Structure 1
Amino acid sequence: MASGSGSGSGRIAAGGPTPTRPGTISVRRSGRLLEGPGAELVASAGRLEAADAPILDPGLNAADIGHAIVLLEAGVLPREIGSRLVRELLALRQVPLTARPADPRLGDAFANREAWLAERDAEAAGWLCAGRARREGTTTAYHIAVRDRLLAFAEALIGTGSTLVGLAESHIQTLMPDYTYLQQAQPTTLGHYLLGFAYPVLRDLDRVGACYGRTNMSPAGVGGVNGTRWPIDRDRLAALLGFDGLTTHARDAMWQADQPLEVMSVVTAALLNLDRLAEDLQVWVTSEFDLIELSERHVRGSMVMPQKKNPYALAFVRGVASSTIGRLAGAATLGRTPSGQMDNRIFAYGEVPRALDLATETTRLMGAVLGGLTVNRELMARRAHEGWAQATDLAEAVVVETGLDYRAAHRVVGRAVRLAKERGVSPAALSPALLDEARRTCHRHPDARSVRFLDQLSRLRASSPAAYLP
């Protein structure tokens, strides 16, 4: 198999780092480059990569140790040097990042770790890139970071979904008008309304599970873009790192531009479901609707207007959903490059795990909001009785009772609502006579039909909105 380009030990500077003050890490040189990175590169790209070290370091701990083990088991890495390398890697794992912050002059987390090891045992550190590129180690760490966060996100969705179902169960009999276009549409119950958001959560969990399955395939052990000469047991390495299988093709394992896009798509879909609920609740919490009240734990007061109780948690959920759409667009844009480019990887290493962290915390927040809100049951029921949300069910009843086709009944009821509003007649006071008047203005039928219409409409006289609930 062809050797992976740039993955051999020749990429590590002979002789180790330049001597430095105790406790510092030098900027190491390669055989190809004699000059260190410029200040502008350090301040931009170097700083960005170094900032991702806290996200990638736990996965790199595992990936580096696993790589050393398979090299030892293959008989490639001399046992005495390999033991020293594993010992130093285990020691590195115990040092918190606060005690060894990533140096932007060195760039990414992988290079910083190699430099830390080289200061302590340059010969052992020289084997860290045997049979693999920096990109392999970092990509493996990224997959570990994302898979852990996908599990946390799924757990948050389960928690919020359970709260949603519990709230729906407690409001099976809470009558309310459903709204479309923010206009009363049909009678419903709050429980039925809330379950309309629970089913999308189940689909979100299906998507997270499928995404996790593809994320938890190991890219480790492929070397460079075209493999490695080293006899690395990829199955053994995948098992050591907790992966369920392998990403088979070396080049695909290294780049996978669709992986960040898939993760961001899954996250965006889930947050947009929560956003729709948050949008509704933010309308309902207004003094004009007054259907719910949020717990004081999830609101903020105004610094100027003392009467206000701002639904800050709901606004935050909506803002996170909107910003995640931007991250999704960014992932798609970064993936639109020639193959073998770093664009879609260098930014994804930090952006995608951070987006998952934020989505997880936001999902938990939405669950807490649902668990803490108070419902104005009496006002909800009164709105259902006082409004015209039962009009569709009345039109259907007219069809059943009189034999009119639905379009004709629709026109009759629509005209009756108009006449009632013009005359100040409430839904509860709507009479068969007014319905027949509406029919006569819409349709010209013989008087006998009119009489039958009136007779059969009298059966509906005592009906209320609750009677038309599905």
Structure 2
Amino acid sequence: MTKLWGGRFQKTTDHLVEDFHSSISFDQRLYKQDIQGSIAHATMLGRVGVISPEEAGQIVEGLREILKEIEEGNVEFDVAAEDIHMNVEQLLTAKIGAVGKKLHTARSRNDQVAVDIRMYLKDEIKEIRSQLRELVETLLNLAEQHLSTVMPGYTHMQRAQPITLSHHLMAYVQMFLRDMDRLADCYRRTDVMPLGSGALAGTTFPLDREYTAELLGFAAVSDNSLDAVSDRDFAVEFCAASSLIMMHLSRFCEEIILWATGEFAFIELDDAYSTGSSIMPQKKNPDVAELIRGKTGRVYGDLLGLLTMLKGLPMAYNKDMQEDKEALFDAIDTVKGCLLVFRPMVATMTVRKENMAGAARGGFTNATDVADYLAKKGVPFREAHEVVGKAVFYCLQHQKNLEALTLEEYQALSPAFAEDIYAAIGVEYCAAARKVRGGPAPEAVQQAIGVAKARLREI
């Protein structure tokens, strides 16, 4: 075929270069945004008199027909046309004739691809934020169900202090709310229209860029043509935000995987979100959680790939930037796919409350509460800490827990101990007593749930 840019060339492109150079295999997913951008551009050209209103109407009608044909599966894209932009222009010219060749007036593929990607990413950010909202709502519902479900909290993967499952779940609510905030911030910087920047230096035609932005639903217009065509900060920022989403999902999945083991036995995953073994009949594997944990590395790779590709590029557009799309698309697809399956996996898991509470009673998780008890009796906390450390050592020697020590044994360690020590160190009480804002007590968590619901309504 004759290249749309071929006037200067005397030889055809080598077929190996055709395949290497072409991006239609992956950028065809931008067809809707490309056609919407072209409709807006043609409408604006007709309005300002660069082309006649009749020509603009022909172009718009032809583009709408092409969009319908693509969505009905009646279009086969041409690798030789390189990308979605030239494929659409080629289809348009074949449909309406020479008038179709006027569409590209006052436009470059450089600002065209920039606007396509921004439009596409805006839609995907909205979708991912919607998925995060559903996940947060699911976690809030679970948190309300487990306000009094006691479990051990951990540091260094060692049992540390009693908390509630509700409190634990709300930690992830905070993470995902931050993710929603970050995506909203990314959306704001993506919501800038680059059309009208041309290849790098704008155009001599009297464009109405603000009108085009209005037609396409952009909140702002780019202020520098060089930056507009070479900027991919918004794509990097999205991949960075996506990496954090995946990191949060991965941390949660790691805990789900541990909790589902026989050693923990805190939860059981629903059969619909588990798999078996081809050789071991008894196995029930948390493959969904493991796969999400594994896919996190893909998104990290997408982020690093974009940063590396961009780091040495001079102004303005360079062909290297064609590499932005596959990384961006992979990050989008991976995050959406993981969120889609993660939410119902968590929503359908069975919580084994007795096992969680039993684990909270082991490992001296109430040791800090014993120290706090002494501090409230007037013992300096550092002295109290030492006393309780000795109490734990004594228990280890005699195979006891702190609740099993007699009052005489306690008073041998410190005369400050009295009969009320036992009421102060039950794990349910230890969790419920931590009423400070942000703590695990049911009323504190209920307050946090209310705050989170209010934030969710705002964002």
The separation in 1 between residues aligned to 2:158 and 2:417, in whole angstroms, is 30
Match of 1:422 in 2: 397
2:421 alignment partner, one of 433, 436, 460: 460
Alignment-mate amino acid for residue 323 of structure 2 = F
Match of 1:94 in 2: 68
What is the CA distance between 1:200 and its match in structure 2? 1.6
1:32 aligns with 2:33: no
Q: Secondary structure at the match of 2:315?
A: coil
1:392 alignment partner, one of 368, 379, 382: 368
The separation in 2 between residues aligned to 1:464 and 1:95, in whole angstroms, is 69
Q: Which moved more, 1:117-126 or 1:230-239?
A: 117-126
Match of 2:37 in 1: 63
1:349 aligns with 2:325: yes
Match of 2:260 in 1: 285
1:72 aligns with 2:46: yes
The separation in 1 between residues aligned to 2:426 and 2:54, in whole angstroms, is 86
What is the CA distance between 1:69 and its match in structure 2? 0.7
Contact 2:269 2:350 in 1 (8 A): yes
1:366 alignment partner, one of 331, 342, 353: 342
The separation in 1 between residues aligned to 2:160 and 2:136, in whole angstroms, is 26
What is the CA distance between 1:29 and its match in structure 2? 5.9
Contact 2:160 2:365 in 1 (8 A): yes
The separation in 2 between residues aligned to 1:455 and 1:310, in whole angstroms, is 50
The separation in 1 between residues aligned to 2:221 and 2:53, in whole angstroms, is 27
The separation in 2 between residues aligned to 1:202 and 1:208, in whole angstroms, is 10
Match of 2:168 in 1: 193
1:241 alignment partner, one of 200, 203, 216: 216
Contact 2:299 2:330 in 1 (8 A): no
Aligned residue pairs: how many? 429
Q: Secondary structure at the match of 1:223?
A: coil
RMSD: 1.9
Listed as ranges, the gaps of 5+ residues in structure 2 are: 435-459
Q: Equivalences for 1:188-227 in 2 at 5 Å?
A: 188-227=163-202
Q: State TM-score, norm by structure 2.
A: 0.89
The separation in 2 between residues aligned to 1:335 and 1:431, in whole angstroms, is 68
The separation in 2 between residues aligned to 1:99 and 1:141, in whole angstroms, is 22
Deviations 1:356-406 (A, max 9, x none): 2321231232211111100001111122123311111111112222x3322
Q: Secondary structure at the match of 2:102?
A: coil
Q: Secondary structure at the match of 2:201?
A: coil
Deviations 1:112-144 (A, max 9, x none): 112222223341121121101011111111111
Match of 1:328 in 2: 303
What is the CA distance between 1:335 and its match in structure 2? 1.8
Q: Higher Cα Rg: structure 1 or 2?
A: 1
The separation in 1 between residues aligned to 2:204 and 2:400, in whole angstroms, is 87
Listed as ranges, the gaps of 5+ residues in structure 1 are: 1-16, 19-26, 440-452
1:165 aligns with 2:140: yes
**1:460/1:29 Cα in 2 relative to 1: closer, same or farther (>3 Å)?**
closer
Q: Which moved more, 1:216-225 or 1:425-434?
A: 425-434
1:308 aligns with 2:283: yes
What is the CA distance between 1:436 and its match in structure 2? 5.0
Q: Secondary structure at the match of 1:129?
A: coil
The separation in 2 between residues aligned to 1:172 and 1:266, in whole angstroms, is 30
The separation in 2 between residues aligned to 1:158 and 1:166, in whole angstroms, is 12
1:298 aligns with 2:273: yes
1:50 aligns with 2:12: no
Greater than 4 Å deviation, 4+ residue runs: none
What is the CA distance between 1:257 and its match in structure 2? 3.0
